[in-house]
Structures are given as structure tokens and as C-alpha cells.
Amino acid sequence: MYNHLEIEKKWQNYWNEHNSFEAITGSSKDPYYILVEFPYPSGAGLHVGHVRSYTAQDAIARMMRMKGKNVLFPMGWDAFGAPAEQYAIKNHIHPKDAVKENIKTFKRQMQTLGFSFDWNREFSTTDPEYYKWTQWQFLQFYKHNMAYKATVPVNWCPNCKTVLSNEDAAGGVCERCGTQVVQKEKSQWMLRMSDYAEDLLKGLDDTNFAEKVKLGQINWIGKSIGAEITFKVDGFNESFVVFTTRCDTLFGATYCVLAPEHKLVDKITTREHKDEVVKYKEACKLKNDMERTELNKEKTGVFTGAYAINPVNNKKIPIYISDYVLASYGTGAIMAVPAHDERDYEFAKKYNIPIVQVLASDECDISNKAYTKDGLHINSDFLNGLNKEDAINKMLEFLEKNNCGKQQVNYKMRDWIFSRQRFWGEPIPMIYCEKCGWQPMNEEELPLLLPVVAEYEPTDNGESPLAKITSWVNTTCPKCGGSAKRETDTMPNWAGSSWYFLRFMDPHNTHEFASMDAMKYWKRVDWYNGGMEHTARHLLYARFWVQFLYNIGLVPNKEMIWTRVSHGMVLGSDNQKMSKSKGNVINPDDIVKEYGADTLRTYELFMGDYQMDCPWSTDSLKGCKRFIDKVIRLKNKVVDKEEYSLCLENIINKSIKKVENDLQTISYNTAISTLMILANAYDDQEYITKRDYQLLLMLLNPIAPHITEELNEELGYKPICESSWPAYDESKIIEKINEIVVQVNGKIRGKIPYDSNKSDEELKVMAIELENVKKYINGKSIIKTIVVPNKLINIVVK
């Protein structure tokens, strides 16, 4: 009898003692870098969802090693962030200690599953040796004018006295306590990510990301090509610029709207409208993002009393302010074409503003809604009769000639708000001096350590907890030496994860974040696995970070990630997301204990399409246990012979090819079904040879490494992790064809035995002579016969 816990321990110790999975930088072997998103070590321990993706990547890593690659398969911890801070506040321990405990648990759990990580490269984003370089890189952003301070509204929970991310403030209430969230203005560090919008778009061509991953990035960047048009303000020596994607509808612009925060508002508001405008602006300030963007909200706004001149026809059109125009997108001002934009239509109806149709339409009535489908231009002077594309080009020509507009590209992507008012993050290494302003810390003094104190509860006024620790805050100005204060905000969680994959290439380097030589050797991440929820933001931040480092000459490639694969979630058996409150959580520890790591690993890959969500089923898991047990039992059939059984050659060679191919195309479930079919074929034999058996063990090893090593050792072979992946012989794979399907009018009516000596004509004759086929042909004429070689004959009759 095999005790899976003993066997697993034995082989985990073996790999550990032999450094079996050590990646050696500079080795002459072909490098291959497999990365799986490093986890946030939460108090809940490892999730069965983690196990699924780690097993998947582990299977590839193990196969690639056997195929002679120098595999880098690292693991570490993304351990800064709010949950650890909250946990620490509640339990009165330092987050550092809470994180240490959690990491211990995660690592222990990972080790019981036998993942072939190179633990020599392990680090946590919270290690001073690591965040030193995160801080150092921030200073590079600053020194290259890529970091700046700006005043930005943030979500503030008056009860928790803390700043919330948009996710934690969903629906306008604090996720933790349910209190109404309010907006607060805060001065924050920003990174000029929007400067990289076009490069981030173009860079996708140098990656092998899945199409839907690329789409996620493209949508997030949100490029739109349009025009900027300058409107003069009647009676003022002022003008403003609007952004539009439909400059061809300028003849239909009957009013303009400025965002309430627009700089021009106070200048152009007339005396009679001043009170109303001020009141409206104040009302907007009180609203948070959620309220402002709420769906189906009725449009509101006020007239400034000023008029703009439509440059295409010199007509005076009123200027309004409204919060349906966002200050942060485009120019913060729009021209409104109510006939063809639903938002403008709604607004114009409410305030009785003229609606001028400029695109012909089949729709009958403009008294109810805007025409949103494109027709040819009408009421548009020199554009009349033109289609959209021609009209846009002609209008651009007009605007440029008259110096009142030009083509313009806009992006939805904004600059990256980089400050967090929290304790548990990388301190931002900046110092504020009354005399010299913001000054970067001296690089030699990094890392700027988080202080070890007992209090890190949030302050009452939204400052980071660090602000209370005066001994830490007070310092001297690096420039003038006078007294100065440190920045008390910390970096976002996204910071440490934006470059960790570079550090894995050279994790112990004390004078660089990673050496150019090491990065040139590993070249890039060949295969990056993570959740769908990270394919937009994390991936974009990481790419931005890398592109910046590339531009200042610190990394060898502009894109450092080649393929990105995203996994589906493991759901509870009730098809719901696993959660404590639903009581549907499966703990991998329990499964390993009862069924073994190999069974859990096999099941997690067999459960379904890897890229899709899939519910947990303990019954199905038991099926995988039966499979492993069957593999063990097959040992009783082994005879001492060193070549493949003749009658198994075909299926063996087919299986090698299929498993190898499936593992490389993320089709883990069919790789396992192939192995089940192979095991069943073995089981049908009176006996199998040692070689037959070892082959099955080798193919199964990447998925179930412990038991396969054990059985392989019993055969007297050297460990599989030190062996080569089996080769297949294409000439042995040729499929044996037994029969050919006969169809009449596309329906199967019989089969004839396959005979390679017979010509198509002879096969046709055989087909027509089948009794059941005759039934359907009699009294009808054969129009044609289609022969698909080696597969089927279709007789078409009428």
C-alpha cells in the first residue's frame, strides 16, 4: 500500500536536497521563464484557485526542464496592502508580523503540493532589500519628470477615517462599514502614464498576448481620433477648445458645455448668472464620482450668460456648464449636437435649446429622441450630400484653413495616481522643504524604511498614519540641510508588482534592481499566467513601468512579457464564488491530507477548460484518485523488458505527441484524458513492459510528480526530473482506418470496410450495393457522389 503523504514528503525532500529546480543564470541551456502571478498572502491561506494555476504552470515547467530548457519558475509575495494593515490594526500586531505568519502558511501549503519553484529566488515586496529598488525606481520617474504632484479628489470614509479605492467605495458607500463616502481633495503623487498611451498601444504588437487580453488593454487605453475646435466667446477676448469625434456635425452644434471645473467659467459668467453658477459648482463638489456618473440620472446644468461663436457659420450659441461633461477627459468642454447625441438631446429638450438636424435619417420623428444612425449630411452648407468620412475630412480642411481647429487624438487612460494614505506600503522617498520645495532623497540612503512603532491606526484627517510619527517625518532637506518633512503617503499595491518579474531574474543583487546581463540572459517572461481581473490594470502598469525603464536604458526590451494566459476561477460546488459566508470553501490542506497532492493536482487540471470558470466537485476529484490508483495497480502487469510492446506502439507514440501538444496549448484536461485512455489501453493487456510503464509515468509526471517518481524509482530508473522527455516516432502514429462511412444526402446509411487497394470508383460501387443504401437510392437518380479520402462517401440523390 502506498501512503501518499509519505511518498510526497520523500520526493519533496529529494528535490529540495538536490536543488532540482534551481535556475542558473548564464547557463548554456536555452532559457525559459515561466511566471505565475505571485499571491497576496492573505490570512485565509491558499485557495484551490491558486492551486489550479500553479499546477498548470508547474506542469509546463516540469515538461520544459525535461525537454532540456533552463527553466526559471519563481515564486514570491505581493504582501503590501490594505487587508494586512486592517488585520494588524484589529489584532494589534505589526503588519510585518502578520505578513510573516501568512507567508509561512502559504509557503508550507505550496510545498505540500510539490510545485517546482526555485525557492532560492523567493522574496516579498515588503522586504527592504526589494522595496529599496521600488523606491529607487520611483526616484528615476521623478528625475525624468515622470512624477509630479497634483490635487485630486479621493473617496473618503468619515467613519473609518480612511481613503478608499474606487473598488472599496463601490456604490458610494464604504465597503467595510457602509457609511456614505464623501469626496476630499488631496495632493497626490502622479505618474505621467498618459504620455505612454500610444507606446503602450503599439507595444502590443511585440507581445503574444491572447486576443482578448490585448482587447482589454486597448479598451483601457481608449484611443479615439477626432478634432479639436476652438470657439471664441462673444464679447470677451477669450476662447475655449472642445474635443469631438464628429467635427462633421458642427453645423448642428446649437450650444456648448463646459465642465463645472473649467478654468474659463468664472471669467465668462455674466453678473445675472453668477449666483446660479456658483451654487451649481458647489453642488457638484459635494457629489462623488458615483453620483456624478450614475446611470439614468437626469441632466442638470446652468447657463453662464455667455455665448460662443460657431466658427463654421458665426452663429451665437449659448454656453452652459453641466456635470455631464467631465473635466478630466478631452478638453473639459464640448460642442453639443442635440439632434444626433442622446445626452445633448436630453439636455437641449430640458432647457429648450434649438435642435438642428444635420444628418438625413429614415427615422420619422425627432421630437422623441436623437438620431444616432449616420445618414448623408443636410443643413450643412459645403458638407451637404457627403457621407461621414468625406464630411469629416472636408471639415478638418476647413478648420485648419481658418485656423480654428485640427485633428486630435484622445485617450481615456489617465495619469496614474500613485499616492496612498496608508501605513503598509512603500514610503515615497521624497522630502518637502519650505525653502527648496519637493526634493528627492539621496539614492544612497535608500531604502527608506517603514518605522517600527506600535501605532499605525489612521489619522482623523486623512493623512497617512505615518504623519503622526514625528520622529520619522522630521528630517533635513537634502539640498539646503535645513529642517524638512518626509512625504507620509505610501505607494499603491500595484507598484511592487509592476517590476517583480525583473527582480526574479537577479533577486540577490545588492547594487542594481537587476543586472543588465541577467536580464539579457533571461530575455523576457515567456509565459505569464494570471487572473482575468488583472489583465487590464496590472498588466498595463507593468508594461508602462518596463517601457519607462527601457527608455532610460535600464532594461533590454521594451516589452518584457511575451505570452499572457488567464485562468478561469474555481467556483464552489454551488457554482458560486467561494466565500466563507456561503460556506462553500474548499481548503487544499484537507484535500491533500485525504486524497493526496497528486490527486488534487490532477483534478484541478482535469476539471474543465483551464481558461473557464468551473465548479468544484468532490465526486469528480474521487474519479481522479481512481485514475492514480489504476496507474499504481498497473505495476502488477509489468514484465522486465526494455522496449515498448509492439501492440502498444501506436497509442504510445500518439499519446506522447498529444500530451506534449496539449500541455503547450493550455489544454490540460484533454492531456489528462489522453493519459486515462493510455492507462485503459495498458489495463486491457495481459502484461506491459517496463518501458511501457515508465513512459506513462513520464507523461504523467508533470501533472502528478510524486507518485510517478516513486513508481519510476521502483522500476530501477533514475529520477524523472533528471530524465529527458520521451520522443515520439511520427511513422508509428499513422492511424489505422477500419471503415468508411456511407451517407445518402448527408445522412449515414451504412459503412463499408476500408481497403487501401480500392479506387474511389470501386468504393462507390461497394457503397451503392449496401442493402440499406439501396433503400434510399431506389427510384431516384444519383446526381453526384462525394468521396472524402479515408473517411466517407456521400451519395447525393434526387
| Residue numbers 660-679 binding RNA by CB under 7 A | 661, 667, 669-670, 672-673, 676-677
Q: What is the DSSP string of 550-569?
A: HHTT-SS-S--EEEEEEEPP
Is residue 792 part of the contact set for RNA (CB under 7 A)? yes
Q: Where are the alpha helices (H) located in 92-148, listed in sequence order?
A: 95-112, 128-143
DSSP 424: S
Judged by CB under 7 A, the chain residues 636 through 665 that form the site for RNA are 658, 661
Is 755 near RNA (CB under 7 A)?
A: no
> In 447-574, where do the E strands start and end?
474-476, 483-486, 525-531, 561-567, 570-571
Stretch that binds RNA, among 178-186, 357-365, 687-695, 785-793 (CB under 7 A): 785-793
Give the interface segment with RNA, choosing from 34-42, 113-121, 198-206, 609-617 (CB under 7 A).
Answer: 609-617
Q: How far is CA 320 from the centre of its chain?
A: 40
Interface residue with RNA among 325, 399, 651, 663 (CB under 7 A) is 325
Helices (H), 222-370: 265-268, 274-286, 289-292, 342-350
Q: Where are the alpha helices (DSSP H) in 614-704?
A: 618-633, 649-664, 668-683, 690-700
Q: Which helix (H) or strand (E) holds 256?
A: strand 255-258
C-beta separation of 116 from 21 below 8 A: yes
Q: Which of 79, 624, 700, 763 binds RNA (CB under 7 A)?
A: 624
Segment lying near RNA (by CB under 7 A), choices 54-62, 133-141, 491-499, 611-619:
611-619
Query: Interface with RNA includes 525 (CB under 7 A)?
Result: no
- Decide: is 398 part of the binding site for RNA (CB under 7 A): no
- How is the beta sheet containing 561-567 ordered, strand by strand? 69-72, 30-36, 525-531, 561-567
Considering the complex, state which of residue 17 and residue 619 has its C-beta at the smaller distance from RNA: 619
User: Alpha-carbon distance 706 to 676, whole Å?
Assistant: 18
The residue assigned the cell 468544484 is 616
Least Å from the CB of residue 669 to RNA: 5
Closer residue to RNA (CB): 502 or 767: 767
**Near RNA in 411-440, by CB under 7 A:** 412
Q: What is the enclosing helix (H) or strand (E) of 150?
A: strand 147-157
* 296 class by beta-carbon count within 10 Å (0-12 exposed, 13-18 middle, 19+ buried): exposed
Give 244 or 357: the residue with its C-beta nearer to RNA.
Answer: 244
680 binds RNA (CB under 7 A): yes
Residue among 334 and 446 whose Cβ is closer to RNA: 334
| Shortest distance in whole angstroms from residue 676 CB to RNA | 4
Q: Which is nearer to RNA, 270 or 618 (CB)?
A: 618
| Binding of residue 612 to RNA (CB under 7 A) | yes
Neighbours of 794 (CB within 10 A): 18
Does 786 sit near RNA (CB under 7 A)? yes
* Residue 511 beta carbon to RNA: minimum distance, rounded to whole angstroms: 39
Task: Name which of 19, 41, 23, 43 is nearest 32 in CA terms.
Answer: 23
714 in contact with RNA (CB under 7 A): no
By CB under 7 A, is residue 452 in contact with RNA?
no
Among 613, 632, 685, 713, binds RNA (CB under 7 A): 613
81: left (phi over 0), alpha (psi -120 to 50) or beta: left
* Minimum distance, C-beta of residue 197 to RNA, in the bound complex (Å): 12
Q: How far is the CB of 740 from RNA (least distance, A)?
A: 8
Closest distance to RNA from the beta carbon of 729 (Å): 15
We find the least distance from the C-beta atom of residue 282 to RNA, in angstroms, to be 16
Residue 384 or 669: which CB sits closer to RNA? 669
Strands 405-411 and 223-233: antiparallel
Judged by CB under 7 A, does residue 574 bind RNA?
no
Check residue 615 for interaction with RNA (CB under 7 A).
Answer: yes
Least Å distance between CB 792 and RNA?
Answer: 6
One residue of 143, 274, 279, 626 binding RNA per CB under 7 A: 626
Q: 170, 18, 201: which is closest to 720 by C-alpha?
A: 18
By CB under 7 A, is residue 623 in contact with RNA? yes
The verdict on 192 binding RNA (CB under 7 A) reads: no
The SS3 call for residue 142 is helix
Backbone angles phi, psi at 507, to 5 degrees: -70, -20
Q: What is the DSSP string of 414-433?
A: -PEE--B--SSSPBP-EEEE
Residue 64, amino acid: M
Query: Could you tell me which of 529, 500, 487, 687 has the C-alpha nearest to residue 52?
Result: 529
Under rule CB under 7 A, residue 105 binds RNA: no
- Distance CA(227)–CA(392), nearest Å, equals 9
CB of 39 to RNA, least distance (A): 19
Burial class (CB in 10 A: 0-12, 13-18, 19+), 141: buried
Which cell numbers in the block locate residue 490?
Answer: 505610501
Tell me how far apart the alpha carbons of residues 220 and 193 are, in angstroms, rounded to a whole number.
Answer: 12
- 416-417 β-sheet, strand order: 162-164, 147-157, 182-191, 416-417
Does position 620 interact with RNA (CB under 7 A)? The reply is yes
d(CA 128, CA 686): 62
Sites for RNA among residues 730-749 (CB under 7 A): 739, 741, 743, 745-749
- Give whichever of 519 and 607 is closer to RNA, judged by the CB atom: 607
Choose between 342 and 762: whose C-beta lies nearer to RNA: 342
Q: CB of residue 26 vs RNA: minimum separation in angstroms?
A: 36
Shortest distance (Å) from residue 258 CB to RNA: 10
Nearest to RNA of 225, 552 (CB atom): 225
Choosing from 266, 683, 760, 769, the residue that interacts with RNA (CB under 7 A) is 683
| Minimum CB–partner distance for residue 394 and RNA (Å) | 17
Of 264-303, which residues contact RNA (CB under 7 A)? 292-295, 297, 299
Residue 40 lies near RNA (rule: CB under 7 A): no
Q: Is 614 in the site for RNA (CB under 7 A)?
A: yes
Q: Please list the residues that pair with 527 across neighbouring strands.
A: 34, 563
Site for RNA in 194-223 (CB under 7 A): 211-212, 215-216, 219, 222
Query: Which positions ≥6 away from 127 have C-beta within 8 Å?
Result: none
- Positions 223 through 262 that interact with RNA (CB under 7 A): 224, 226, 243-246, 259
Rounded to a whole number of angstroms, the minimum distance from the CB of residue 410 to RNA is 6
| Candidate list 5, 532, 585, 768; residue touching RNA; CB under 7 A | 532
Distance CA 277, CA 280 (A): 5
CB of 633 to RNA, least distance (A): 7
Binding mask 462-501 for RNA (x = CB under 7 A): ----------------------------------------
Q: Residue from 263, 622, 635, 774 that binds RNA (CB under 7 A)?
A: 622
Q: What is the DSSP letter of 616?
A: -
Q: Which is nearer to RNA, 292 or 315 (CB)?
A: 292
Taking alpha carbons only, the member of 426, 483, 478, 430 closest to residue 450 is 426
Give kind and range of the element (H or E) at residue 220: helix 211-221
Shortest Cβ 739–RNA spacing (Å): 6
State which of positions 44-103 bind RNA (CB under 7 A): none
How far is 679 from 688, CA to CA, in rounded Å?
Answer: 11
Taking the complex as a whole, how short is the minimal distance between the CB of residue 662 and RNA, in angstroms?
8
Measured from the CB atom, is 93 or 170 closer to RNA? 170
Residue from 44, 160, 278, 326 binding RNA (CB under 7 A):
326
Report how far residue 95's alpha carbon sits from residue 101's, in angstroms, rounded to the nearest whole number. 10
Contacts with RNA: how many residues (CB under 7 A)? Answer: 80
CB burial readout 113-132, b (16+ within 10 A) else e:
bbbbbbbebbbbbbbeebbb
